[in-house]
């Protein structure tokens, strides 16, 4: 079936956050800190307040009433301390966006700057072990004797990989429209979860959740950056209260780099050992990463090593340093994406050192149960993905020797990497109602461009036994039955479970069905539930210029039951394309002297264009997993990115004989090795 909202999107009738109409609307523009650490000593807003159309100036000169226990990133203008460059220190509200922006430039802020520290280093003296890593895993785990496993191995590798700061950059910028009606607040926000956004906004403003409504019918992408409430939404609410009228806030592309999160840089050390036959004797994965001084956020980059391969000795560890930077957050496949880049690159290096085919090395070390925890897998099928991918890609024709194949001016190589991502679900509620011969399903889910409306329509129609045209799904409103956010590849599994149960109840009742899956989910467990996949890449490298091209990417995935093949393929291909950007282009460069990022727009932060991805193919195997949810489905939004960067990096080594261990793989880095 086609996307049910497709016609509205291509005709422009689908409204995004700041496109909703509002009478007598005003606009707010933030003033951002120009230092990375220190204190605001004075704010001179007299000139700004006198400019045409200005309605209010917000700053710490008149701090708003916000909850003391609110997220420090959201307690706008409550204090004068500056924690990172780009932090909101004031804002101007005016009758037009142009007037607000001009007046914001007229606000004069004086600072007492302090020496700042914005760079992650492997030997940073303030690195520490956090109590947990996102979303609640232990920071460190250990099984067996890693030192003995390495010492007794026939082949070992001891390598360090680095990944840079990466930014999510959704097509729709973070934006909000806030309007007060007495003591009630409505916010049209660009968010991945209306219910969670409502709760955070209410808590920050000191309001009962019932006094706040968040509407988010359509979202132009997020990749995790809209998974938590961002300062723009709080600013819109404060500005609307100050101006006495609805206020719109739309962040610029440059501002997105400052206040909407990013993927933390990582420094990852891998030590692997195997016997002469290629069986692993030990895995050690240590990660160093950063957070802000405001909030502790520790990405779980070493966690996937706890899932992947059979080994008698396994140690994973995370170390964190709090710097004078904005807080990192979720970006597509947090943890698995950078962590599997390092692990799968190290596995490729081990295969080369042992003289074993990289596919076969992974097959040899297939575990019977989850290596770290010992739980049985509900389903796994990584080997099937590797075998099917190798067949479709033509892996059997591969010469393992690196740096020997040429086609004209190009060196040609191929690489492989495995992928994994947890298959989880969270409690969700839904209703299903028979209305005038049709069926209406209501749930506070979010469609961030993935096709959630369409998939939920298909799930409801299949459960009810009616054509999809007779089903309408309402979502994207916190007033609807509560649902978790779109993130962690668990949206459809969570929402779909509630939709199935509500529709089943409707069939029994005849007119109305309600569902709450909390008890069902709490009664489950006993299995390790993960999606798996295998990524294959062909690259071409020009040794004269260092230019790298990727003519072919191919992925095969095991993700339970695929609800909609077109939507699934779109997500896989999108994830793989994003992984290509991670491998070759994407990097936010930290400004050591001033803080912030030097390349904070899409002219300098490069993402793949159509010409960069001429042939990306995604396939999946039939997988029946009865232990997941009523649909038997695993999430697919994130696993596509997970193995791609490693597959491309491994292919670059195969093409050139050069191993670049710090992303992205740029021409300059390759030319330095030729």
Buried b (16+ CB within 10 A) or exposed e, 461-474: bebbeeebeebbbb
Q: Determine the pLDDT at residue 132.
A: 98
Are the C-beta atoms of residues 106 and 42 closer than 8 Å to each other? Answer: no
* Residue 159 preceded by cis peptide, ω within 30: no
Q: Determine the pLDDT at residue 1.
A: 85
Q: Determine the pLDDT at residue 337.
A: 98
Give the bridge partners for 471, in sequence order: 439
Buried b (16+ CB within 10 A) or exposed e, 570-598: bbbbbbbbbbbbbbbbbbbebeeeebbbe
* Residue 664 preceded by cis peptide, ω within 30: yes
Buried b (16+ CB within 10 A) or exposed e, 289-298: bbbbbbeebb
Q: Determine the pLDDT at residue 524.
A: 87
Are the C-beta atoms of residues 349 and 270 closer than 8 Å to each other? Answer: no
- The tokens describing 547, both together, are 């230019």
Give the bridge partners for 539, in sequence order: 413
Alpha-helical regions (H) of 411-451: none
Active-site annotation, residues: 638
List the Cα angle 652/654/659 in 5-degree steps: 60
Task: Give me the average pLDDT of each 10-residue run along the chain (674 residues).
Answer: 94 97 97 98 98 98 96 97 98 98 98 98 98 98 98 98 98 98 97 98 98 98 98 98 98 98 98 98 98 98 98 98 98 98 98 98 98 96 98 97 97 98 97 96 97 98 97 98 97 98 97 97 94 98 98 98 96 98 98 97 96 96 95 97 98 98 98 94
Q: Determine the pLDDT at residue 505.
A: 98
Q: Determine the pLDDT at residue 550.
A: 98
Q: Hey, what domains does the chain have and what are their CATH numbers?
A: 377-423+529-674 (3.30.365.10), 429-522 (3.30.365.10)
């Amino acid at each position: 079936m086609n996307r049910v909202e497709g016609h509205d999107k291509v005709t422009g009738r689908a409204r995004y956050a700041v496109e909703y109409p509002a009478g007598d609307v005003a606009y707010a523009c933030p003033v951002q800190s120009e230092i990375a650490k220190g204190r605001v000593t004075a704010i001179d807003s007299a000139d700004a307040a006198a400019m045409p159309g200005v309605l209010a100036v917000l700053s710490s000169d008149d701090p708003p009433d916000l909850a003391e226990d609110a997220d420090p990133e959201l307690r706008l203008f409550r204090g004068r301390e500056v924690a990172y460059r780009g932090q909101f220190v004031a804002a101007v509200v005016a009758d037009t966006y142009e007037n607000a922006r001009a007046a914001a430039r007229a606000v004069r802020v004086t600072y007492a700057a302090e020496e700042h520290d914005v760079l992650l280093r492997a030997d940073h003296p303030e690195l520490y072990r956090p109590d947990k890593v996102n979303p609640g895993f232990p920071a460190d785990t250990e099984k067996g004797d890693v030192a003995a496993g390495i010492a007794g191995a026939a082949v070992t590798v001891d390598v360090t990989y680095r990944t840079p700061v990466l930014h999510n950059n959704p097509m729709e910028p973070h934006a909000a429209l806030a309007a007060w009606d007495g003591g009630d607040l409505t916010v049209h926000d660009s968010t991945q979860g209306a219910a969670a956004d409502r709760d955070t906004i209410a808590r920050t403003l000191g309001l009962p959740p019932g006094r706040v409504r968040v509407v988010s019918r359509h979202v132009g992408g997020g990749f995790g950056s809209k998974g938590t409430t961002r300062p723009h939404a709080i600013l819109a609410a404060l500005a609307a209260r100050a101006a006495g009228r609805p206020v719109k806030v739309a962040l610029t592309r440059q501002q997105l780099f400052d206040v909407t999160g990013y993927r933390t840089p990582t420094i990852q050390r891998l030590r692997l050992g195997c016997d002469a036959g290629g069986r692993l004797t030990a895995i050690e994965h240590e990660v160093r990463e950063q957070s802000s001084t405001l909030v502790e956020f520790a990405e779980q980059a070493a966690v996937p090593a706890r899932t992947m391969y059979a080994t008698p000795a396994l140690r994973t560890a995370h170390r964190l340093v709090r710097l004078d930077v904005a807080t990192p957050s979720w970006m597509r496949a947090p943890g698995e994406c950078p962590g599997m880049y390092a692990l799968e690159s190290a596995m490729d290096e081990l295969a080369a050192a042992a003289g074993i085919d990289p596919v076969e090395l992974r097959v040899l070390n297939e575990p019977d149960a989850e290596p770290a925890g010992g739980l049985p897998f509900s389903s796994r099928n990584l080997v099937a993905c590797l075998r099917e991918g190798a067949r479709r890609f033509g892996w059997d024709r591969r010469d393992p020797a690196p740096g020997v194949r040429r086609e004209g001016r190009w060196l040609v190589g191929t690489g492989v990497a495995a992928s994994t991502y947890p298959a989880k679900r969270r409690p969700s509620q839904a209703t299903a109602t028979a209305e005038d011969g049709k069926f209406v399903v209501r749930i506070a889910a979010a469609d961030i461009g993935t096709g959630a409306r369409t998939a939920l329509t298909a799930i409801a129609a299949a459960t009810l036994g009616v054509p999809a045209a007779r089903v309408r799904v309402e979502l994207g409103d916190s007033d609807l039955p509560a649902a978790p956010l779109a993130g962690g590849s668990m949206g459809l599994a969570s929402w779909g479970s509630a939709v199935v149960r509500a529709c089943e109840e409707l069939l029994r009742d005849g007119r109305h069905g309600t569902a709450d899956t909390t008890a069902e989910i709490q009664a489950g467990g006993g299995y390790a539930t993960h999606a798996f996949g295998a990524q294959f890449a062909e690259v071409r490298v020009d040794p004269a210029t260092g230019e790298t091209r990727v003519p072919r990417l191919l992925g095969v995935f095991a993700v339970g039951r695929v609800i909609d093949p077109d939507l699934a393929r779109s997500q896989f291909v999108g994830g793989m394309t994003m992984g290509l950007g991670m491998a070759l282009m994407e990097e936010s460069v930290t400004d050591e002297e001033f803080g912030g990022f030097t390349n904070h727009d899409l002219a300098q932060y490069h993402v793949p264009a159509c010409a960069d991805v001429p042939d990306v193919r995604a396939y999946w195997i039939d997988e029946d997993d009865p232990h997941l949810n009523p649909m038997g489905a695993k999430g697919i939004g994130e696993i596509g990115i997970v193995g791609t960067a490693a597959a491309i990096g491994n292919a670059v080594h195969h093409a050139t004989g050069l191993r670049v261990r710090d992303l992205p793989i740029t021409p300059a880095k390759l030319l330095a090795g030729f």
